[in-house]
């Protein structure tokens, strides 16, 4: 679980840049799909992390 958490800030930084670019270009549908993807990925990571702890 720990190694994945260490790489998280780098990923969120890239995601932030991506979202800023999308906002500039008003691609709201793309932003929504990215939010959905990120939410799904985070919940998967949390589930895996809990599985490892348990």
Q: What is the pLDDT of residue 43?
A: 82
- Quote the pLDDT of residue 3: 54
The number of distinct structural domains making up the chain is 1
Band the pLDDT of 4: cuts 50, 70, 90: low
Expressed as residue numbers, the domain containing 41 is 2-53
Q: Are 6 and 15 in contact (CB under 8 A)?
A: no
Q: How many helices (H) and strands (E) does the chain have?
A: 2, 0
User: What's the pLDDT tens digit per position in 5-54?
Assistant: 555 556 567 777 767 776 777 667 776 777 888 888 878 877 877 777 76
C-alpha dist (Å) from residue 33 to 2, 7, 25, 41: 27, 22, 15, 12
Rounded to whole angstroms, the Cα distance separating 29 from 39 reads 15
Q: What is the pLDDT of residue 2?
A: 52
């Amino acid at each position: 679980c720990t190694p994945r958490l260490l790489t998280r800030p780098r990923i969120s930084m890239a995601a932030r840049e991506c979202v800023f670019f999308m906002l500039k270009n008003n691609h709201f549908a793309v932003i929504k799909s990215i939010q959905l993807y990120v939410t799904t990925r985070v919940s998967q990571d949390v589930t895996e992390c809990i599985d490892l702890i348990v």
